[in-house]
Amino acid sequence: MKAPISSYLDTILDEVRYQDAGSNADYIPELANKDPNSLGAAMCTTSGHIYSAGDAEVEFSIQSISKPFIYAMAVQEHGIDVVSEIVGMEPSGEAFNELSLDREGHRPVNPMINAGAIAVTQLIGGTGATVEDRIEMIRAFLSEMACRQLRVDYDLCDSELQYADRNLSLAHMLRNYDIIQDDAHDAVVSYTAQCSVMVTTRDLAFMSAVLANGGVHPLNGKRVLEPDVCRLTLAVMSSAGMYDQAGRWMAHVGIPAKSGVSGGLLGTLPGQLGFASYSPRLNEYGNSVRGVRIFKLLSKDMGLHLMAADDRAGVDAVRSIVTYQEDTVVTLQGMINFNSAESILYELSQHEISGDHVIFDMTRVSGIRRMGRFLLKEGMHLLEEKGFRISIVDPDDHVPDYRTVDGTEIHVNEQESAPFATEREDDRYHDDDCPDPDEGPQPPAWEG
């Protein structure tokens, strides 16, 4: 039986297959001669599960889809302050090859347009690096993201270089304003080789999933990028990745994305998945016609719009609050972030707690964020100040210490709470096993 998600991807491809609007980029034969009917899609979740459909294994040049990755690479190597000296992060709303620099620093406005990308590429490896060094570092980095050895198509690269007058003029302009130090021709060669790295739609889905997963490769668990670098890259992608279509893209699709002139389109849902499509015919903005359609369908069908609040409500952080004689058990669940910690504190403030002992059962908590932990400890501290004894069942060590922000140590009892622990394995994912909230769990045996 075909996995439902792969079948869904097949359905999406069938829905857009008939569309034949737009045309291949034709400024070089290698792009003009690509089969315009090729159509592929692939998705990789942050758990490393991959689903693909259609021509997901056909190779094409990565082109501008390399830009966010090389930006991330440069920020990781030099830090955002150095990178910000040569490129901004404002949307330009202009075409990808626009000659636009900001007024004050004469920096390209963002790294997703060619001027910005050329400036960023020459940071790779530092000023001492040769063109060959840079190209190899870029190829190796993109290979690490794709989890296979990628190659540069030098024939395609040579072909591109014969039509690179506009990019050369951008590089000369950047040199004129001291944004790049490389010889203008060298800068364009490095950038063009970067665009000539060959990938498949599956590769792009993996690469995108690394960004979605905060820089840890979902396939091998290796940290490739720092989480704040991924966040920054995705933020820039969301405002500038689709060139002069960027505003409408965020409104209608709402997935940070990057397109390339060969027809690839990559989108990233932070914390969820990486998605990519391939179809070479482009619209007037240089974005794949069927790719844009695929992303619209995906966003709508799967509720993937970043700004949609409807699917984000998640589970209630407080599963139950049950009192037995002197003991009140507060069972927490899911991810404790700011929002859920706030709801825990609110629920506690609304609850008339009788007895003198509050037990926090965190067996069902799947993770905790810094702010969530901070607020939870403050809540425990408040209860302690009101005269309650605090116990915690925390098998995954979500709260490793009990110090509050002002240095006070909460006197948390770990032993006394053990009999209240939720049964883990079997109990965890079976809702039918959940205690009826009206009945509440049975008093622990040791109470007699």
Positions that interact with ligand GLN (CB under 6 A): 63-64, 96-97, 114, 160, 167, 195, 260-261, 286
Report the C-alpha gap between 37 and 2 in whole angstroms: 24
Residue set of the binding site? 64, 114, 160, 167, 191, 243, 261
State the minimum distance, in angstroms, from the CB of residue 210 to ligand GLN.
20
State the minimum distance, in angstroms, from the CB of residue 63 to ligand GLN.
3
State the minimum distance, in angstroms, from the CB of residue 241 to ligand GLN.
11
Measured from the CB atom, is 255 or 261 closer to ligand GLN?
Answer: 261
Residue set of the binding site for substrate? 64, 114, 160, 167, 191, 243, 261
Measured from the CB atom, is 265 or 375 closer to ligand GLN?
Answer: 265
Measured from the CB atom, is 185 or 386 closer to ligand GLN?
Answer: 185
State the minimum distance, in angstroms, from the CB of residue 79 to ligand GLN.
26
Measured from the CB atom, is 144 or 244 closer to ligand GLN?
Answer: 244
Measured from the CB atom, is 88 or 260 closer to ligand GLN?
Answer: 260
State the minimum distance, in angstroms, from the CB of residue 264 to ligand GLN.
8
State the minimum distance, in angstroms, from the CB of residue 289 to ligand GLN.
15
Measured from the CB atom, is 40 or 263 closer to ligand GLN?
Answer: 263
